[in-house]
């Protein structure tokens, strides 16, 4: 498999880089590093199924969300933009996990491969550890087991 991010230096990524197409990778890294639950904003389709992942992030203990840009108020179902897609009837903010079938089905990349090659936890150490420390959240000594 030719991987779409092969050879890129993620140390120079910005929060926007992570939040634009790799938000699920960053959410998985945040979850592993700090032990926070992953969440996702998914389209709700007319037929009752789950559609496209609009954004993946983690939930802080105080109820706010956190992604590569840092803590923010929790996203609401009416903040998500469906564009002009007539099949989308709304959005659902749900608990998820890096191996959740709803996430796996919408990905165009392998999360384990991304975690290994892009090393988002290194980026978190350099860019978000100080923010998390201010919130009283420290990195786990041994992160949760990788998804199988």
Alpha helix positions (H), 38-147: 101-106, 111-118, 120-127, 129-134
The answer to the question of residue 145 being in a domain is no
Q: Give buried/exposed letters for 20-55 (b at 16+ CB in 10 A, else e).
A: eebbbbbbbbbbbbbebebbbbbbbbeeeebbebbb
pLDDT, tens digit, for every residue of 78-104? 666 666 778 888 788 888 877 777 666
- Whether 104 is in a domain gets the answer yes
Q: Angle 21-148-17 (CA atoms, 0-180°, nearest 5)? A: 15
**Does the residue 1 lie in any domain?**
no
Quick one: DSSP state of residue 98? T
What is the domain extent for residue 66? 11-76+86-134
CA–CA dist 119, 41 (Å, integer):
24
* Per-residue pLDDT at 44 exceeds 90: no
pLDDT of residue 135: 95
Query: Does a structural domain hold residue 37?
Result: yes
**Residue 52: in which H helix or E strand, if any?**
strand 50-59
Q: Say if 68 falls within a structural domain.
A: yes
Over residues 110-144, the pLDDT tens digits come to 778 878 888 898 999 999 999 999 999 999 864 44
Eight-state DSSP code of residue 11: G
Residue 5 CA, chain-centre distance (Å), reads: 17
Structure tokens at 101: 């079938």
Between CA 64 and CA 81 the distance in angstroms is 20
pLDDT of residue 26: 93
Residues 6 or more apart whose Cβ sits within 8 Å of residue 8: 118
Q: Give how many domains the chain has, as a whole number.
A: 1
In a domain, residue 141? The reply is: no
**Alpha-carbon distance 68 to 50, whole Å?**
24
């Amino acid at each position: 498999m030719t991987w779409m991010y092969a050879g890129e230096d993620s140390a120079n990524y910005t929060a926007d880089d992570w939040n634009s197409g790799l938000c699920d990778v960053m959410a998985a890294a945040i979850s592993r590093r700090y032990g926070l639950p992953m969440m996702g904003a998914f389209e709700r389709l007319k037929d009752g199924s789950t559609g496209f992942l609009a954004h993946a992030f983690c939930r802080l203990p105080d109820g706010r969300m956190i992604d590569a840009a840092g803590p923010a108020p929790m996203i609401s179902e009416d903040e998500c933009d469906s564009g002009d897609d007539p099949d989308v009837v709304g959005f659902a903010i749900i608990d998820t996990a890096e191996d959740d079938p709803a996430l796996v089905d919408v990905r165009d990349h392998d999360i384990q491969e991304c975690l290994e090659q892009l090393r988002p936890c290194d980026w978190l150490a350099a860019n978000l550890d100080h923010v998390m420390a201010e919130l009283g959240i420290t990195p786990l000594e041994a992160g949760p087991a990788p998804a199988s």
